[in-house]
Amino acid sequence: MHLSEQEIIRREKLKELAQLGIEPYPAPLYPVNNTAANIKALYKGEENKADFANVCLAGRIMGVRDMGKANFAQLQDSTGKIQLYIKRDEIAPGEDKSLYDKVWKHLTDIGDIIGVKGYVFTTKTGETSVHVLELTLLTKSLKPLPVVKEKEGETFDAVTDPEFRYRQRYADLIVNPDVKDTFLKRTKLINTIREYLNAQGALEVDTPVLQSIPGGAIARPFITHHNALDVPFYLRIANELYLKRLIVGGFDWVYEFSRNFRNEGMDRTHNPEFTVLEWYTAYKDYYWMMEITEQLVEKIAIALHGTTLVKVGDKEIDFKAPFKRVTIYDAIKDHTGIDVSEMDEAALREACKSLGIYPEASMGKGKLVDAIFGEKCEGNYIQPTFIIDYPVEMSPLTKKHRSKPGLVERFELMVNGKEIANAYSELNDPLDQRARFEDQVKLMERGDDEAMYIDYDFLRALEYGMPPTAGIGIGIDRLCMLMTNQPSIQDVLLFPQMRPEVLND
């Protein structure tokens, strides 16, 4: 094991603590009765100092100012930071001053976790602090934290290296307080959605992650093997077909926060493991779904920011409902000048070439239209916009449009140039669905490794009868990026996928 000089010194201190009879990793119970944030928010000096006469805190040492027989230290707990005042004769009141002189001043390091008991007071400079009367070492840190420079509460030299931050998220959370705030907002975002859907009467359910057929989306799956059954299984790329089975079974509104897995590229908006909210509601259509979606997204913005206006990079995005609606063919015509609505596959290929897009031979009509929209149109939709009415070839699980031949009742919600939601009036005609699956097989035979498999059990379920249904998938990670002003999906995932690290030990 290769150790730095600082790591060696800390291990030597660990031995010295043991020689002094001090357990560096004591039993976990410690009687914490307050937090840094609570003290700072509620302490009012003489007005209520009696309420803070016996506080007990625990946290990590983040800084020390040595003043000889007294120290000021900075303690960080899960809620924030607070100043400690540690005086030699008070934490070591008898003749033996080793707790202060030896343990505190020489064997304790920044990063160590301590427990303190004492009372709250205000320093001469007006800072709310804890006057420590009792100090206990709770955890000895053997690895130094990255250095972060602060002045007057402002961080001006944060740790910004993505390789470090994503790989060692535990250290990132310690030294970059804004990171924790992002994940607290992520949880609040999810809770807001859950509360909204539950209040509407929706039922939260769980569906399989291991699936015998990777259905519900057009994507390349991860493949694994079930030893007991001796058959291949797939990590789910979507939970759509299972949720629709529940609609067949008699539930009117079901939803799931689904962990999905797609064996595809990684970039600022894609991670192979990601979270999608999907819900399906009987007797509704995509028009209703647009209305409920914009209401929900507006509610999330207000819950997190107190307003519908959200800063994203150098832009301000307004999530106030209603959102603009544009057909996909109109979007392509607006941004390329080309009307592709009547084009067959060959004409679409020529249109792609004229736009500098060179599609693969395996791509059918649907993927060609998608390629044009993705390359030339998608990035232009900064404010929330519903792109609606897609060609049938792009949407094998979607109901045909009630008044526009060749199209389906589908929308995607675009914000800041990216899709964050995809929704349909769901296809519930089992014969039409079977034909669409068979078209997907033909694409697979042409080499399209993202084409859908035929799910015969799902077809059987449809034959029992699925009521008219609307369904949606909302990318939670991308929505969280928008609502927390983060530039990369890795910034809203606690532990994003990375290339395996080669460790010496």
177-220: per-residue pLDDT in tens? Answer: 899 999 999 999 999 999 999 999 999 999 999 999 888 887 88
Say how far apart CA 108 and CA 64 lie, in whole Å.
Answer: 10
Residue 108 lies in a domain: yes
215 touches 278 (CB < 8 A): no
Whether 154 maps to a domain, the answer reads no
Residues 99 and 24 in one domain: yes
Q: What is the CATH number of the domain that holds 450?
A: 3.30.930.10
Instruction: Give residue 152's pLDDT.
Output: 62
Unique residue bearing structure tokens 């625990």: 58
Read off the pLDDT of residues 331-364 as tens digits, 9 standing for 90 and up.
999 999 999 999 999 999 999 999 999 988 888 8
One domain, residues 35 and 112: yes
CATH number of residue 90's parent domain:
2.40.50.140
What is the distance between the alpha carbons of residues 251 and 169, in angstroms, rounded to a whole number? 40
What pLDDT band is residue 147 in, cutting at 50, 70 and 90? confident
Q: What is the mean pLDDT of the chain?
A: 94
- Type of residue at 46: E
Q: What is the mean pLDDT of residues 253-268?
A: 94
Same domain, 129 and 253: no
What one-character-per-residue DSSP string does 37-95 give?
HHHHHH--GGGTGGGGSSEEEEEEEEEEEE-SSEEEEEEEETTEEEEEEEEHHHHS-SS
Categorize the per-residue pLDDT at 150 as very low, low, confident or very high, splitting at 50, 70 and 90: low
Q: What is the DSSP string of 339-406?
A: --TT--HHHHHHHHHHTT----TT--HHHHHHHHHHHHTGGG--S-EEEEEEEGGG-TTBPBPSSSTT
Is 316 marked within a binding site? no
pLDDT at 445: 85
- Full-model pTM: 0.90
Structural domain includes residue 225: yes
pLDDT in tens, 275-326: 999 999 999 999 999 999 999 999 999 999 999 999 999 999 999 999 999 9
Count Cβ neighbours within 10 Å for each residue of 313-339 and write b for 16 or more, e otherwise.
eeeebebebebeebbbbbbbeebbebe
The type of residue at 253 is: W
Q: 368, 352 in Cβ contact below 8 A?
A: yes
Question: Does the residue 155 lie in any domain?
Answer: no
Domain limit, last residue, from 125, 145, 165: 145
Q: Is the pLDDT of residue 505 over 80?
A: no
Q: Which residues pair with 70 in a beta bridge?
A: 87
pLDDT of residue 369: 95
The span from the CA of 16 to the CA of 107, in Å, is 8
14, 22, 103, 319, 486 from 107: Cα distances, Å: 8, 11, 5, 53, 39
Annotated binding-site residue? 409: no
Do 94 and 33 lie in a common domain? yes
* pLDDT tens digit sequence for 457-478: 999 999 999 999 999 999 999 9
Domain count, the chain: 2
Q: Pick the closest to residue 179 from 481, 492, 475, 498 (CA basis).
A: 492
Range of the domain at 63: 5-145
Nearest to 289 by CA among 278, 303, 276: 278
Domain final residue pick, 96, 128, 145? 145
* Residue 149: pLDDT over 70: no
